[in-house]
């Protein structure tokens, strides 16, 4: 029997008592939720036989309300629940998800009930830790959970256990569910925002009280009624580890098998991407079929989900993983770094197309044998742009003289070998910083790939301005322009990743003043991206400092954790590259988005606007960004004077 996954990677264990196969990465991990478990070992064997990977069960009998305040029940003798010896330690550690007793109300307004619940909660938390359970599932049923949050946080900070806690929250509050459901009637999405955002606010209050503790995660309960797609997208930005699927939400197909509506299928496909685990609760509604049919249907959906595209395949394993942006101007890149970017199937074909169109425009057919265009590749790396330019010249049947300029002496060795083995005298290799090079002649075309995830963050403007003096009047720069874009985002996963980046001898908050390159995955983008900074080449204005104020309409209750950065570039005329989601170049993986975090999450109401102010600063020695939110409330200005992050010139 496969285990419940308590961390980001799925671990598989073989139970000594059961004969179910261990789960693989491609298989859906499913658990069975039961409210009554007469014999633990027998029930575990039975659910394993059906194909489940773990069992969700109460640790104490759900009707046994222990008394901790009043005598004589307070001192009643005897065991209050069954022995841990009924299962071996490894089974408790990997195959059981504990459930908190449903009668516990730690935030009850009745004092005796609250005190009793506090004691019972402490007892169940401690017993769960004693058993070594990977997860304890705790339901919340309303907006007031401050005392529960305090007790849970106290337990986490005072114990030496490693349990995680799944907060079970329904997507829709029970009182807001329709009662007129008819079997096989399609379920409509509710569109009353005050109703369908209600339970999210319960969860948001609890996790905020718990200070975004990484061990407190989410188990959403998917009901028959669904909130609007915008609200579902918001839920999908939360740290969802599990989804509870009641059997009552399943419809029946013509052959009598359980199936889900299209709306439910959409959320299931999204949960597959988050690698959530699924928990089936309720009795079988399809009594003529084995309970396995529910699991088989989910596995069928998993096998038939849309295949990952080239970008998703490349990014596998890098989801929400923070990386420092490259600084190729200050640092010499390694061979493997060049190799990764050279594998991009789209970028260089677009560059080739841009050079091809440019050559056709600049050299008329009647001059193709006499007009030799001078093309300079600035930042040639290991030569992919040189090769793309030579291919374009052959394709256009135009003559070309190429200079490959590269400051990295290690990459120059590769370029010299290319010249010796293939390029010949058509290419001149120059080992020099483009800003310091005294060019022997002026260029008709300069080609560069100096763009970072935010467009200008690898100092393309400064480099190309420094090289512009050897471009002929009327000469062409490829790319000719690029624009950065920003969008507000919510992601407690990314907020926690940044918070966990602390280093010795550095200010604890400096990581919140640093941009990160990251494959955004478990996040919710709160608004469409808006253009931030634009640079064009060649240019007469060499001042590359910028200041931009952007205002976004959010339209839902949420929490702001930072901003996602993207870029679009025009290589030549209609030949473009983009990492902006709406216009992303299909199959291109050379750039992940960039993240600008915020030190403190900012709560947003649906009627609020988010205003962010962004600065690009250059003092002649280095470049840096500063950013601040000024609406709906003010944040501190992040990274003033480049105190935490700069890009060296």
Would you name the residues annotated as active-site residues?
Answer: 449, 458
10, 27 Cβ separation under 8 angstroms? no
445, 373 Cβ separation under 8 angstroms? yes
CA distances to 255, 261, 287 from 252, rounded to whole Å, are 8, 10, 11
CA distances to 323, 517, 522 from 318, rounded to whole Å, are 9, 10, 12
- Integer Cα distance of 84 and 41 in angstroms: 11
**Nearby residues of 257 by Cβ (< 8 Å), 6 or more positions away:** 286, 289, 293, 297
Q: At what angle do helices 409-418 and 335-342 cross, to 10 degrees?
A: 50
The helix (run of H) or strand (run of E) holding residue 278 is: strand 277-281
- Integer Cα distance of 549 and 560 in angstroms: 17
CA distances to 195, 378, 408, 448 from 466, rounded to whole Å, are 57, 11, 17, 13
Whether omega for the bond prior to residue 40 falls within 30 degrees of 0, making it cis, is: no
- Integer Cα distance of 494 and 483 in angstroms: 25
Q: Is 338 strand, coil or helix?
A: helix
Q: Is 581 strand, coil or helix?
A: helix
- Outline where 502-613 has alpha helix (H): none
488, 466 Cβ separation under 8 angstroms? no
Whether omega for the bond prior to residue 481 falls within 30 degrees of 0, making it cis, is: no
18, 45 Cβ separation under 8 angstroms? yes
Give the angle subtended at the CA of 640 by the CAs of 491 and 482, to the nearest 5°: 65
Beta-bridge mates of residue 312: none
Q: Is 343 strand, coil or helix?
A: coil
Burial of 287 (0-12, 13-18, 19+ CB in 10 A): exposed
Cβ count near 403 (within 10 Å): 23
Whether omega for the bond prior to residue 101 falls within 30 degrees of 0, making it cis, is: no
- Integer Cα distance of 496 and 37 in angstroms: 37
Backbone angles phi, psi at 491, to 5 degrees: -165, 105
- Integer Cα distance of 429 and 495 in angstroms: 45
- Integer Cα distance of 28 and 305 in angstroms: 12
Q: At what angle do helices 384-396 and 347-362 cross, to 10 degrees?
A: 40
Burial of 177 (0-12, 13-18, 19+ CB in 10 A): middle
Our CA dihedral for 256, 257, 262, 265, rounded to 10 degrees, sits at 170
Q: Is 293 strand, coil or helix?
A: helix
Task: Give which of 402, 396, 358 is closest to 378, Cα–Cα.
Answer: 402
């Amino acid at each position: 029997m496969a285990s419940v996954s308590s961390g980001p990677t799925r671990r598989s264990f073989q139970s000594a008592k059961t004969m179910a196969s261990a789960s693989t990465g491609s298989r859906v991990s499913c658990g069975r939720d039961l409210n009554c478990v007469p014999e633990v070992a027998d029930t575990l064997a039975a659910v394993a036989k059906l194909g489940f990977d773990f069992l969700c069960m109460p640790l104490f009998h759900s009707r046994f309300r222990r008394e901790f305040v009043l005598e004589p029940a307070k001192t009643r003798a005897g065991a209050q629940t069954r022995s841990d010896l009924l299962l071996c330690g490894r089974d408790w550690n990997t195959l059981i998800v504990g459930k908190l007793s449903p009668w516990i109300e730690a935030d009850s307004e009745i004092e005796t009930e609250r005190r009793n619940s506090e004691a019972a909660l402490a007892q169940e938390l401690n017993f769960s830790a004693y058993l070594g359970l990977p997860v304890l599932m705790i339901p919340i049923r309303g907006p007031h959970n401050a005392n529960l949050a305090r007790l849970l946080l106290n337990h986490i900070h005072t114990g030496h256990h490693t349990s995680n806690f799944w907060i079970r929250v329904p997507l829709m509050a029970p009182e807001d569910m329709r009662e007129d459901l008819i079997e096989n009637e399609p379920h409509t999405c509710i569109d009353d925002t005050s109703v369908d955002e209600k339970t999210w606010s319960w969860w948001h209050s609890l996790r905020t009280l718990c200070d975004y503790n990484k061990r407190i995660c989410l188990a959403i309960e998917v009901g028959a009624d669904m909130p609007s797609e915008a609200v579902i997208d918001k839920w999908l930005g939360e740290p969802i580890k599990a989804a509870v699927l009641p059997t009552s939400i399943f419809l029946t197909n013509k052959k009598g098998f359980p199936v889900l509506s299209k709306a439910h299928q959409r959320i299931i496909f999204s949960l597959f991407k988050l690698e959530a685990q699924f928990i089936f609760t309720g009795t079988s509604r399809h009594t003529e079929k084995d309970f396995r049919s529910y699991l088989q249907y989910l596995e069928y959906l998993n096998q038939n989900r849309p295949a990952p595209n080239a970008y998703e395949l490349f990014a596998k394993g890098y989801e929400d993983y923070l990386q420092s942006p490259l600084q190729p101007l200050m640092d010499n890149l390694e061979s493997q770094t060049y190799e990764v970017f050279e594998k991009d199937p789209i970028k260089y074909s677009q560059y080739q197309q841009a050079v091809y169109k440019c050559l056709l425009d600049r050299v008329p057919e009647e001059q193709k044998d006499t007009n030799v265009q001078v093309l300079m590749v600035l930042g040639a790396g290991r030569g992919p742009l040189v090769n793309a330019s030579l291919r374009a010249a052959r394709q256009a049947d135009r003559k070309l003289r190429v200079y490959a300029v590269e400051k990295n002496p290690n990459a120059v060795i590769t370029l010299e070998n290319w010249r010796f083995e293939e390029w010949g005298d058509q290419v001149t290799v120059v080992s020099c910083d483009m800003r310091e090079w005294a060019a022997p002649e002026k260029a008709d075309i300069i080609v560069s790939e100096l763009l970072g995830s935010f467009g200008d963050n690898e100092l393309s403007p400064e480099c190309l301005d420094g090289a512009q003096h050897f471009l002929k009047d009327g000469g062409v720069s490829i790319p000719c322009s690029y624009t950065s874009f920003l969008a507000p985002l919510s992601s407690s996963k990314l907020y926690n990743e940044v918070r966990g980046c602390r280093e010795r001898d550095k200010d604890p908050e400096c990581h919140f003043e640093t941009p990160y390159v990251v494959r955004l995955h478990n996040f919710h983008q709160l608004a469409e991206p808006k253009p931030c900074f634009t640079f064009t080449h060649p240019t007469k204005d060499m001042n590359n400092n910028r200041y931009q104020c952007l205002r976004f309409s959010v339209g839902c209750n949420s929490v702001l954790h930072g901003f996602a950065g993207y870029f679009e570039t025009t290589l030549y005329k209609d030949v473009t590259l983009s990492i902006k989601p709406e216009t992303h170049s299909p199959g291109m993986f050379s750039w992940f988005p960039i993240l600008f975090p915020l030190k403190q999450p900012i709560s947003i109401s649906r009627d609020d606007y988010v205003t962010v102010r962004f600065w690009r600063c250059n003092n002649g020695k280095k470049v840096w960004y500063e950013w601040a939110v000024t609406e709906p409330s003010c944040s501190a200005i992040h990274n003033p004077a480049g105190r935490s992050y700069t890009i060296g010139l």
